[in-house]
Amino acid sequence: MIYGATFKMFGDIGEANDIEKNFISVLSALENLKNGSKPSSQLLSSVIEKCRDYLRSKKDTVPIDEIAEILSSLKRVTSASDTKYYSISQNDIPHKVRLCIYEGLIINNSSLYAPVVVNSNLVGILSVEGLETDERNILIVQEYTKIIARTIKQSQTLKDAVGLYDAFRVLYEEINSLNSIDIDELTGNLIKSIHRIFPEAIGGFIYVQKLFSFGLKPDEKILSLARKTAKPSVYNSFVIIPLKKEGWFVAIKGRPNDRQLWMLEIICNYAGEMFVNAQMYKDMKELAMYDGLTGLYNRRFFMTNIRNEIKRHKRQNKPMSVLLMDMDHFKKINDTYGHPAGDIVLRTVADIIKHTARTTDICGRYGGEEFAVILTETHLKQALDVAEKIRRNVMNTEIPVDNDVKLKITLSIGVSMYRMEQQASELLRRTDQLLYRAKENGRNRVFGDSPNDLFKE
């Protein structure tokens, strides 16, 4: 791979200076990113400054001038009348010189034509004319081909270094963009990073908890393979890169080159670590916000929401109402059918409440078998209508708790509307009193702020 070969880069040139050593340190740090380890920001910012000007200047160092000096030196040492270097890509190579491509070293009267080889590849031909073709001069010419080869290799290596520096700079910027604990935001940023690193990508999918598609519809065969793959692989023109957690992956349609694939692997490995952290944060947040049995907001978070809604009401002067609900005779269910049956009833009633209320309303589990709903921007009459709808939906639902047992449950509901300058505790206390009055008046009914707001079956 590119990064592996680069560690030997400066060894080919000579002893590395401090800046070159820093650059090698960055390459090592980038390789560590494949295991999810992020380099320190101090190292990154330090190297990005030190490497930029150095590598940019070296990139512009074309070996032509150095080769010209080498040819002059060879001319003096051998007393040749003429020395030239022909790049293999040139079109104006004389025929007698071009034969060297096929035959290797050519000795022709007072002329020598020697191949210049870099990494086993023929890159040029050294032409020396007007000299004695004795053994000494032949050895000298061959040594000079090696000097020219090293010069060319040094120039190419430094150009490669600049290319890798550019890759590092992009990775550094994209890695910083992935610092989020929100899975949706993280996914969007990863898609942007993929397009920047591999602009030729036709599209693809990211799977982290759910499938995010960018530009393509999911292919079931690829999805099935991607969920099982443990290392980067190519299938049907897709590059599949697993993320940190089993079953999470990125699938990109297209054929990235070696450097693009290397960068994509690093980004995806680092993103995988971020996704794991985001998942942990989401799980912890849900534990803090939601009731584990019903999936509604827990009492603590419900109380936070009602205080926030009261503040919003005071700012915007918009109505707000609250429902408090209690399941009638719930203790009998637990005593008769057991707590697992009671849990089924609680979950079912919670689902009915959540799906009857609007998406803007805030539903919570207030106590053991008590539920609460904050109806935002809702007057008392509308709140009473919602409460009655919930009561009827619950009453008309048969809840299977065992193979042969289906239960019908009823709710008693108290409804009140927020009054200016009330505290949350005062609002809930009044609503609870209305709930208690609904219980006293026979249960399975809605009781509102006024005795006229009584619904009963």
Cβ partners under 8 Å of residue 135, min gap 6: none
Residue 369 annotated to the active site? yes
Catalytic residue among 173, 369, 377, 426: 369
Helix, strand, coil % (nearest 5) of the chain? 55, 20, 25
Amino acid at 417: M
The alpha carbon dihedral of 87, 89, 94, 100 has a sign of: positive
Rounded CA separation 329/370 (Å): 12
DSSP label at residue 396? T
CB 128 within 8 A of CB 148: no
DSSP code string of 262-312:
HHHHHHHHHHHHHHHHHHHHHHHHHHHHB-TTT-SBPHHHHHHHHHHHHHH
Strands (E) in 356-442, as ranges, are 362-365, 370-376, 398-400, 406-408, 411-417
Rounded CA separation 152/124 (Å): 10
Helices 64-78 & 135-177, crossing angle to 10 degrees?
170
Rounded CA separation 386/390 (Å): 6
Active-site residue numbers? Answer: 369
